[in-house]
């Protein structure tokens, strides 16, 4: 396990990866807190990176991501007392290719294999997810220097917790050097550059995972380990402050509220239990390096 984590961490730092709007050109470190006295407290740490290789009309790349979820079930009513899961990890990669059909049309296809587990017991039983998708992007150049793009497609993803098909529809408009906005999935935000180094950005964001976890049936000598899938999804609204310092470095601070939370336990693809979740304050801290 330690060897695997070291290899993935090195891959995240040195792999050069990215692509169209859905893939960001940066190395990032994020820490998020979703804390509520009415349900489950979520603490998330993520490190990852992506960058693109341009090969004529093709853009080819990969991305690496390590995501650690700490789950605190202090206030839940789950009847099986041993089924409090902590230290869930997602070690994911993305591989994609983007082809320029014309100067203003692009097609991008990608796959997203990942290991997602608490790495307890026989974690291989439920510890893998495989996502994939594709989309078309059309770009426009407007009078006055404004630009916009429309992205349409779909993906099979864990972005909403349990693996499912999700349509991709996103419109991005860069009005000028100060103002930009995006509407749809995977991005919805407004961006205002208040100065050369300062940006305010109201965002609708998603946090989610779908990981294999180990629980126990029974309490005494007859108890047995059982593999489950834990599905978590949180929709949050927040205000991000971004500060650009030095060359390529960016500090981000976000404060907001989780508008919707779900946390479900699955066994053999059937929902076994739903945890009570409440809306709560949301805090996000991060450091990014943009290529």
What global pTM score does this model have? Answer: 0.83
Which pLDDT does position 199 carry in this prediction? 96
* Model pLDDT for residues 213-223, shown as the tens digit of each residue: 887 666 666 66
CA atoms within 13 A on the CB side of 187: 20
Say how many Å lie between the first and final Cα of the chain, rounded.
Answer: 30
Which pLDDT does position 148 carry in this prediction? 95
Residue 173 CA to residue 146 CA, distance in Å, equals 7
pLDDT above 70 covers what percent of the chain? Answer: 82
Residue 51 CA to residue 189 CA, distance in Å, equals 22
At 241, phi and psi to the nearest 5?
Answer: -110, 130
Check residues 109 and 63 and name the one with the higher pLDDT: 109
The kind and range of the H/E element at 5 are helix 2-14
β-pair type (270-274, 249-267): antiparallel
* Model pLDDT for residues 154-200, shown as the tens digit of each residue: 999 999 999 999 999 999 999 999 999 999 999 999 999 998 899 99
* Model pLDDT for residues 148-167, shown as the tens digit of each residue: 999 999 999 999 999 999 99
């Amino acid at each position: 396990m330690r060897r695997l984590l070291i290899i993935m961490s090195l891959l995240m730092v040195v792999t050069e990866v990215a692509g169209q709007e859905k893939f960001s050109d940066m190395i990032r470190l994020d820490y998020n807190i979703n804390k509520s006295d009415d349900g489950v407290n979520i603490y998330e740490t993520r490190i990852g990176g992506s960058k693109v290789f341009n090969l004529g009309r093709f853009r080819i790349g990969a991305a690496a991501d390590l995501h650690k979820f700490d789950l605190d079930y202090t206030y839940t009513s789950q009847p099986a007392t041993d089924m409090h899961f902590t230290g869930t990890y997602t070690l994911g990669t993305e591989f994609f290719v983007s082809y320029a059909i014309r100067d203003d049309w692009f097609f991008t296809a990608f796959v997203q294999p990942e290991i997602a587990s608490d790495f307890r017991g026989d974690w291989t039983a439920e510890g893998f997810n495989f996502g994939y998708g594709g989309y078309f992007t059309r770009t426009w150049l407007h009078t006055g220097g404004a630009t916009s793009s429309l992205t349409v497609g779909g993906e099979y993803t864990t972005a909403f917790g349990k693996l499912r098909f999700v349509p991709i529809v996103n419109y991005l408009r860069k009005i000028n050097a100060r103002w930009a906005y995006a509407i749809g999935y995977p991005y919805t935000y407004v961006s205002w550059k208040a100065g050369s180094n300062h940006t305010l950005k109201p965002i609708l964001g998603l946090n989610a995972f779908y990981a294999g976890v180990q629980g126990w049936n029974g309490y005494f000598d007859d108890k047995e380990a059982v593999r489950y899938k834990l599905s978590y999804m949180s929709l949050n609204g927040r205000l991000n402050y971004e500060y650009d310092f030095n060359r390529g470095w960016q500090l981000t601070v976000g404060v907001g509220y989780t508008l919707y939370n779900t946390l479900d336990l699955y066994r053999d693809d059937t929902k076994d239990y739903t945890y009570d979740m409440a809306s709560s304050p949301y805090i996000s801290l991060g450091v990014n390096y943009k290529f």
